[in-house]
Structure 1
Amino acid sequence: MTNETIQTTPVTKYHAALTLVETVESHYTHFIPTTRHLSGQRQATQPHAQAIEAIIDTAFWTSLRREEGLAPRISLAFLSPEQAMQPLLFGQRLELTTKNLTKIAPGVERPGIHLGVWYEEGELYVWGTTRQLPYSCFVVDVTEPGVLVIKHKRGEGPVKFKNMAVLIGEKVKVIDESSAHLPDCPTLVTSLLGLEPSSSWNDPINALVQVAISIRAHRHGGALLIVPSGTDAWHESIVHPILHLIEPPFYGLSELMKQDLSTKVKRQWQEALQEAVDTVACLTAVDGATIIDDEYELIAFGAKISRPVGKGPVEQIVVTEPVMGSKASVVHPTQNGGTRHLSAAQFVHDQQDAIALVASQDGRFTAFAWSPCEEMVQAHRIDTLLM
């Protein structure tokens, strides 16, 4: 993109948009050279500073408007019509304004639809929509009033985007990729940060990533316990009888994950995987915890967590978040959330080879795992990675 000046006419500047320009530019400066080996991938144009600021600014003010009483939920992607595959082109381009975005929002709010934004003679405009984006394409999602997710396209795997930052009003949360290099960082978090080679999107851990995303999406809150297969030790931490025991266990997700790589790249397999993922995730909305083993066999749902006889209550946990500027803090479990969070922390405290995922109705999402380095339960706040 050239250094020509892009004209924008926002009523009031959104300060957070300006603060993020350097972050996004720096991200692309370091990211693009590492992806040049992907010669078979269509590469997007790196966004210019003025385009970054203008798109974020306009998206934010659009998020605060209403159309027929509803808040806009749209996705803006920076690419030309020529860079898109099978684009839907508007007969007349739209100026990038809050008014135009609000009016068109009801027709483009479904997941996977992106409004294409490009420039000509220094002016940004919306040219149409597309469902397929080139690699590294800059995207701004309006998820709810005052909340934006800044991301880029990173492939065609189960998790297609890599979050760079989340904006909540004037609060800016920039994703800290270096947190994945901490000795106790779970593979789930590393996977969400997108620091593995692209082939790893076929690894089993990404089924867990998809389950986490699906749990958060149903917005009922929920808890998922992942226990080791081949052992019954975790039974000591569950109230018996288990009301909703699955007999025999549901093998749908497990069988799909065991299929070979040549099958996993097919659309039919991916659709079947999403159905199996949603089957597990939906059950977490039921009061109690859903239980699967590390081979993805569904064991039970609605299970009640209890402290084993002779075990003491969990007294402290270490809380982390993969966000720049955040520091690990040791707190009492009750300071980290409600009943679900406390129960999950107790479960992992007693069953140190297990993992617990907990979603709140407000969108907070925490992964609990035992930290050998800290010798206590570690609570990883990962909602910024799932949006």
Structure 2
Amino acid sequence: MISHATYQAAKFIAPLLNNYFEQYIIDAAGEDKKAHQVNSPSSEFIEALIDAAFWASLRKEEGNSPKISIAFLSPEQTTDPLLFGSRLRLTPRNLTKIAPGVEGSGIHLGVWFDETGLYIWGTTLNIPNYCFVLDVSEPALLVVKHRRLCGFGKFTNVAILKGDEIKVIDENSAFLPDSPQLLNYLLGLNTNTLQTESVNVLIQLAVSMRAHQKGGIILIVPTGSNTWHKSIVHPIQYLIDPVFTNLSKLVNEHSDIISEAFWESTVKKEIDNIAGLSAVDGAIILNDTYELLAFGTKIIKKSGAEQIDKLAFIEPIIGAEVKEIFPGELGGTRHLSAAQFIYDQRDATALVASQDGHFTVFSWSPERNMVQSYRIDTLLI
């Protein structure tokens, strides 16, 4: 038996998510023979999952709000699960009570069903591709996602629920004119392993950079080009000499000789090392092979260049429209300086994190003939 949800957003979004996951698994079955082994939760189960998670997020256990990752799968659909001796019914109280013990990175509460409804059977560190995952990120903030098909790290977000606000990710955003490659991978639309591993590094840089909550800018410039110097104040206080190549070597020399887990762990440490430098006032300069060139740099308008007066603003959620706005409407000095840098250096990309959690990717659109800004924090939560 399933009780009806009292969180109204759960009732609204459940059918949409059910259709999404059912179709997603059907589409994936043509490429992955394991896809049919994963179950999409029914609309009723999705509604119950979201409702329980939402009310649990508003509770506290020993003064702390719960942070939980819930995966919809049976113990037989994972490997080496930790099984509870007795099943726990899926209720806000049970989620809140168990939350302190399952907050570690990569730990998922396993939820399945019997004739009486949904229950928690234990925990797992391993979930299959296409598996429905619901994260309780903070009070009243839930994220529906699934495991990225290739690569490592950040899962692919499907929807964000924050109080009475619902944002459903629009995968078609990746097909807008000149959309940056990073957006394509964040939306989980490219499953080429070799390409994804490289771009996933950029995704992990964005996640790590956003996580330190101090704001920052990373400028990605073409390898072998020095034109970016024209948009930076000299002398550069924190110029890296020789160029720091640890991350670049790890990405380009990825080999089956070392274990996947060891490689991912080593890459993450190097990513966190570089992303941490974005907290220093000024911008990180990184080339497109992930060699660190400088950090703490000050951006200026290129000599003889015009001041940027407008840009395209895009948020990859259903119902959002492309808007042309003044750069100052996006945020503060970071956003304005990053937009000007891309206006002057049109073969570069800029990643900008705000202290309030917003994250924006700037790139040049030849088709629109202007700078475009993608607000992607909904994809990074």
CA contact (8 A) 2:311 2:372 kept: yes
- Answer yes or no: is 1:66 the counterpart of 2:60: yes
Could you tell me which residue of structure 1 aligns to residue 20 of structure 2? 27
CA contact (8 A) 1:43 1:136 kept: no
Cα distance, 1:279 vs. partner? 1.2
| Distance (Å, rounded) in 2 between the aligned partners of 1:141 and 1:239 | 43
Alignment CA distance shift 1:278-1:329 (3 Å): same
Give CA-to-partner distance per residue, 1:139-163, whole Å, 9 cap, x none. Answer: 1001111111001223362145221
Question: Tell me, what secondary structure is at the counterpart of 2:289?
Answer: coil
| Distance (Å, rounded) in 1 between the aligned partners of 2:154 and 2:34 | 17
Q: Which amino acid aligns with 1:227?
A: V
| Distance (Å, rounded) in 2 between the aligned partners of 1:71 and 1:260 | 39
Question: Tell me, what secondary structure is at the counterpart of 2:3?
Answer: coil
CA contact (8 A) 2:190 2:196 kept: no
Equivalence map 1:235-314=2 (5 Å): 235-260=229-254, 262-263=256-257, 266-314=260-308
Q: 2:169 aligns with which of 170, 175, 181?
A: 175
Q: 1:230 aligns with which of 213, 224, 227?
A: 224
| Distance (Å, rounded) in 2 between the aligned partners of 1:180 and 1:292 | 24
Percent identity of paired positions between Structure 1 and Structure 2: 50
Question: Tell me, what secondary structure is at the counterpart of 2:356?
Answer: coil
- Answer yes or no: is 1:192 the counterpart of 2:177: no
| Distance (Å, rounded) in 2 between the aligned partners of 1:301 and 1:182 | 32
| Distance (Å, rounded) in 2 between the aligned partners of 1:264 and 1:253 | 16
| Distance (Å, rounded) in 1 between the aligned partners of 2:181 and 2:240 | 27
| Distance (Å, rounded) in 1 between the aligned partners of 2:319 and 2:335 | 24
Q: Which amino acid aligns with 1:123?
A: G
| Distance (Å, rounded) in 1 between the aligned partners of 2:73 and 2:23 | 20
Number of aligned positions between the proteins? 380
Equivalence map 1:11-90=2 (5 Å): 13-36=6-29, 37-40=31-34, 43-90=37-84
Q: Which amino acid aligns with 2:13?
A: L
| Distance (Å, rounded) in 1 between the aligned partners of 2:116 and 2:78 | 21
Q: Which amino acid aligns with 2:306?
A: G
| Distance (Å, rounded) in 2 between the aligned partners of 1:185 and 1:17 | 31
Which sections of structure 2, spanning at least 5 residues, go unmatched? Answer: none
Give CA-to-partner distance per residue, 1:106-163, whole Å, 9 cap, x none. Answer: 1111111111111111311111111101221111001111111001223362145221
Q: Which amino acid aligns with 2:119?
A: Y
Cα distance, 1:263 vs. partner? 4.9
Mean Cα deviation higher: 157-166 or 218-227: 157-166
Question: Tell me, what secondary structure is at the counterpart of 2:256?
Answer: helix
Q: 2:136 aligns with which of 139, 142, 149?
A: 142
Q: Which amino acid aligns with 1:65?
A: R
Question: Tell me, what secondary structure is at the counterpart of 1:128?
Answer: strand
Give CA-to-partner distance per residue, 1:239-282, whole Å, 9 cap, x none. Answer: 11111111111100111121155358632222211111111111
Which sections of structure 1, spanning at least 5 residues, go unmatched? Answer: 1-5
Could you tell me which residue of structure 2 aligns to residue 3 of structure 1? none
Give CA-to-partner distance per residue, 1:212-239, whole Å, 9 cap, x none. Answer: 1111122221110001121211111111
Question: Tell me, what secondary structure is at the counterpart of 2:21?
Answer: helix
- Answer yes or no: is 1:158 the counterpart of 2:152: yes
Q: Which amino acid aligns with 2:77?
A: Q
| Distance (Å, rounded) in 1 between the aligned partners of 2:28 and 2:204 | 24
Alignment CA distance shift 1:156-1:194 (3 Å): closer
Cα distance, 1:353 vs. partner? 0.8
Mean Cα deviation higher: 205-214 or 337-346: 205-214
Question: Tell me, what secondary structure is at the counterpart of 1:284?
Answer: helix
